[in-house]
Structure 1
Amino acid sequence: MGISRISSGGLVLATLAVVYALNVVGGDPRFENTFGYFTNLTSLFASLVILTAGIATLRGRPSGRPLAIARAAAASCLVIVGLVYNLLVPGTGTAPPWASVILHLVFPVLALLDWLLVTDRPRLAWREIWWVLPYPIVWLAATLIRGVTEGWVPYGFLLPSRGTTAILWTSTGLLAALLAAAALVWAGQRTSRAGLDSMGD
């Protein structure tokens, strides 16, 4: 499992590197533009989490509570990445088709299966579900600030020209959807031993 995690994390990092390189060649060398997209930034975050979990597995160490929370948050965000892209905006974006498949389908599925089926972690309490929110809230705030100050946003529904009310409703809807995805992640967690429940307390 450790090798599988490291391999999947490495594959995603390599994919993101190619996407960034293609953007540079295409005339957009700004790192913050490539990783201003929620898909790319979330994939970067999740791949680092998966790599960390893989290294811990190879060392014979189950995930402690902080890493388990990071895995749950990453899985929740990737569920949103996969659902929004594949159900609402399939085929859009500037990434090559093969990269889009990896980032919007393969990696979200692998991360979710890793969370649901691999039990080397403590069970998370429902009160800890709120830990999924800080990262997307910071991303959203930074994106909106860039939209106002630079006129650049990764998605049209965040354009300042839509008005404060529309953006507020959209942002609230996105965060609510994320919490719904997190609820599924929390509900689906399994542990192989009751002793894992208290790990990291």
Structure 2
Amino acid sequence: MVVGIVVIGVLVYTYVLGIPAGRADPFDYFGYFTNLTSLLAAGVLIAVGARTLRDGRPPAWLHLARGAAVTAMIVVALIYNLVVPGTGTAPGWVSVTLHLAFPLLLLVDWLVIADRPPLEWRRIWLVLPYPLLWLGVTLVRGVTDGWVPYGFLLPSRGVAQLAASVGMLMATLLVCASLVWAMSRIRVFEVAPQTPPSIGSRLGVRPTR
């Protein structure tokens, strides 16, 4: 939960930092896959933490959302560091935080801390809707107003190269999702579900025998 709050703080700081330089459009700012995915992943972490504190263990759908968030953040790290390294106008420490530290922390936490059940393979398709929606909106914007967050998605590159780029992204996503789903079956440090305190214990009432 704390990590999620910190990441949102970093995103807000970076957005405010860009306003004097004329980068005040939130649609452009969150048009970057890194920024939008980091925001969503941070929200998922906060939700998981809140539900764990309240109920002892998050519901199944939230575990799936967390798996999808981990997958998307791994893609963020891979694409940025291997395909478009050094791009962007944010301070260096922000780039390291969002493109390396945050994805790595999510991955290590997912791999080491067994606080989630194994994800069902038949649900792996749930990693697709969000990136496909982002791609669709990005490509439409590229055609209509000429703005795209990354050069490899420019319409001027032609249909064939765009299709190759989209195919590469989807293939990377599915490979990462398969690894995340497989890692959900690994048990390094088992975490038992917490039992939330009863109403009586919260009020200081001792149970009768």
Taking structure 1 as the reference length, what is the TM-score of the superposition?
A: 0.89
Q: What is the distance in 1 between the residues matched to 2:87 and 2:160?
A: 26
What's the counterpart of residue 3 of structure 1?
none
Aligned 1:49-128 pairs, distance under 5 A: 49-128=44-123
Q: Percent identical across equivalent pairs?
A: 51
Q: What is the distance in 1 between the residues matched to 2:154 and 2:87?
A: 17
Query: Does structure 1 residue 145 correspond to structure 2 residue 140?
Result: yes
Query: Does structure 1 residue 10 correspond to structure 2 residue 5?
Result: yes
1:54, CA displacement in angstroms?
Answer: 1.1
Unpaired segments ≥5 residues, structure 1: 1-5, 196-201
What's the counterpart of residue 177 of structure 1?
172
Q: What is the distance in 2 between the residues matched to 1:164 and 1:86?
A: 25
Q: Which amino acid aligns with 1:83?
A: L
Q: Which amino acid aligns with 1:138?
A: L
Higher helix share: 1
Query: Does structure 1 residue 23 correspond to structure 2 residue 18?
Result: yes
Decide which moves more: 82-91 or 176-185. Answer: 82-91
Q: What is the distance in 2 between the residues matched to 1:88 and 1:146?
A: 21
1:60, CA displacement in angstroms?
Answer: 4.3
Decide which moves more: 126-135 or 82-91. Answer: 82-91
Query: Does structure 1 residue 186 correspond to structure 2 residue 185?
Result: no
Residues 46, 71 of structure 1: 8 Å contact kept: yes
Q: SS of the counterpart of 2:114?
A: coil
Query: Does structure 1 residue 168 correspond to structure 2 residue 159?
Result: no
Q: Which amino acid aligns with 1:56?
A: R
Q: Give the alignment partner of residue 38 of structure 2, picking from 29, 37, 43.
A: 43
Segments of 4+ moved more than 3 angstroms: 190-193
Q: SS of the counterpart of 1:101?
A: helix
Q: SS of the counterpart of 2:19?
A: helix
RMSD, aligned CA: 1.6
Larger Rg, first or second structure (1 or 2): 2
